């Protein structure tokens, strides 16, 4: 089983009727529905308003993969919570950062850069191209995956070079964007996936669900890790044990 915690700041849905119409159960509720298709995934959800944002030590200890959606309230996420999430990623918890989560404290902390990008809300058509056809995240994903209307995210995207680049998008305006990026941080795996602007029904699409399910399995690092024993420099080397002299 893979234990997923879907974290959503949950503010747009409360303030904006247009967003509420698209996501009556919240963005976290829609992502929960997408992941439910896979019976090996167990989903819990949490929002900014929860005690300690739902990101307590105990909650994180029971999480294999954390999915993060935020936009309006990055600065309201407590530094202590960010530190707990970062520590867990370095210990091996997977992290999937979605859309405007590129400016979240946790993503910036793990990247070490501004994570700024260019954007435009103008009903662009986004075409998401697979550029790593043998990567587990693209299994069963249409090539290309087309979003008829979406917010444009464009380069330059100020991130370190991804360890694996999985998707590149292009837009009606001609812009391109690295829309699916894998990173390794400590023992943890991090995937950034840009689709998911709050006024478009992106998280009701089965093809987007396929990407998220694949990403959950990729980011779930099996534990415990192999134990590496280290010989003391004062111990006699035993390389030749068994050889006769």
Kindly state the number of chain residues that form the binding site for Zn ion, as judged by CB under 5 A: 3
Stretch that binds Zn ion, among 16-24, 77-85, 150-158, 224-232 (CB under 5 A): 150-158
Minimum CB separation of residue 128 from Zn ion in Å reads 15
Q: Is 151 in the site for Zn ion (CB under 5 A)?
A: yes
Measured from the Cβ of residue 18, the count of other Cβ atoms closer than 10 Å reads 9
Nearer to Zn ion, 117 or 138 (CB): 117
Q: What is d(CA 137, CA 158) in angstroms, rounded to the nearest whole number?
A: 23
Tokens representing 83?
């530190």
Residues between 68 and 107 that touch Zn ion (CB under 5 A) = 100
Phi, psi of 18 (to 5 degrees): -60, -45
If the CB atoms of residues 32 and 100 are measured against Zn ion, the closer one turns out to be 100
Cα distance between residue 220 and residue 16, in whole Å: 34
Minimum CB distance to Zn ion, residue 98 (Å): 10
CA–CA gap between residue 137 and residue 214 (Å, rounded): 5
Phi, psi angle pair for 149, to nearest 5°: -140, 125
- Kindly list the strands in the beta sheet with 145-154, ordered across the sheet, starting from the edge strand earlier in the chain: 41-47, 2-8, 65-69, 94-98, 188-193, 176-185, 164-171, 118-130, 145-154
Cβ nearer to Zn ion, comparing 100 with 108: 100
Stretch that binds Zn ion, among 9-17, 148-156, 162-170, 173-181 (CB under 5 A): 148-156
- Using an 8 Å Cβ cutoff, are 169 and 176 in contact? yes
Residue choice 105, 189, 197, 220 for contact with Zn ion (CB under 5 A) = 197
For Zn ion, the closer CB: 18 or 243: 18
Q: How far is the CB of 97 from Zn ion (least distance, A)?
A: 13
Q: Which is nearer to Zn ion, 93 or 202 (CB)?
A: 202
Beta carbon nearer to Zn ion, 197 or 210: 197
Judging by beta carbons within 10 Å of its beta carbon (0-12, 13-18, 19+), is residue 120 exposed, middle or buried?
middle
Chain residue at closest Cβ approach to Zn ion: 197
Q: Which residues bind Zn ion (CB under 5 A)?
A: 100, 151, 197
């Amino acid at each position: 089983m893979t234990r997923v915690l879907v974290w959503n700041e949950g503010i747009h849905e409360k303030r904006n009727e247009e967003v509420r119409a698209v996501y009556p159960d919240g963005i976290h509720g829609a992502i929960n529905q997408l992941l439910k298709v896979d019976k090996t995934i167990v989903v819990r959800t949490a929002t900014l308003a929860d005690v300690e944002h739902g990101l307590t030590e105990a909650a994180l200890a029971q999480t294999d993969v954390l999915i993060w959606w935020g936009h309006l309230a990055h600065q309201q996420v407590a530094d202590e919570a960010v530190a707990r999430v970062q520590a867990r990623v370095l210990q091996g918890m997977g992290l999937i950062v979605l859309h405007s989560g590129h400016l979240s404290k946790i993503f910036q902390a793990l990247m070490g850069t501004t994570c700024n990008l260019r954007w435009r809300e103008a009903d662009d058509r986004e075409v998401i191209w697979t550029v790593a056809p043998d990567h587990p995240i693209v299994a069963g994903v249409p090539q290309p995956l087309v979003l008829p209307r979406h917010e444009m995210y464009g380069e330059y995207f100020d991130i370190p070079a991804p360890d694996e680049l999985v998707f590149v998008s292009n837009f009606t305006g001609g812009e391109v964007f690295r829309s699916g990026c894998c990173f390794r941080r400590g023992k943890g795996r991090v995937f950034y996936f840009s689709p998911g602007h709050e006024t478009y029904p992106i998280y009701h699409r089965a093809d987007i669900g396929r990407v998220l399910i694949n990403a959950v399995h990729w980011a779930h690092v099996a534990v415990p890790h192999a134990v590496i024993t280290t010989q003391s420099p004062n111990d006699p080397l035993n390389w030749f044990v068994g050889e006769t002299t």
